[in-house]
Amino acid sequence: MAKLTHLDDDGNAVMVDVSDKASTERTATAKGSVFMAAETMALILEGGVKKGDVLSVAQLAGIMGAKRTPDLIPLCHPLVLSSVKVDLTTDADQNAVHITATCKLTGQTGVEMEALCAVSVAALTVYDMCKAVDRGMRIADIRLTHKAGGKSGTFEAE
């Protein structure tokens, strides 16, 4: 059975020691969605949200979220990210904003948490900017969809 890496033999929280790991190129992609009322989607598409351009602000927030991951998630290593890409697309048929974030670096540990934080912060920003007109929005399906690099190799979600 796999062992949790952030606990020592006594059950204490520890930051994983990566000093013996090789530096390799590592990437991770995460996805998630914000579902909303049709009227809220129309406001986003028309640029009618009072707080501003929802998609642009959420994109920037997602990038900032990836960069601040070790400040938000205990025991995450501070990383020098070489690339963070956050894409938001609207889906009028589902009344949803779909978010994809991809993080990349060359280093000793992966960037899965950074990609997940980017999606989470972007989704929360969409919610925050639209909550005055739609408190029933639903943030859903935040998940890792791809990871490459490092000893564990490649992961592709089904």
The reply to whether 128 belongs to the active site is yes
Q: Which of 8, 20, 128, 134 is catalytic?
A: 128
How far apart are the C-alpha atoms of 127 and 36, rounded to whole Å? 9
Residues identified as active-site:
128
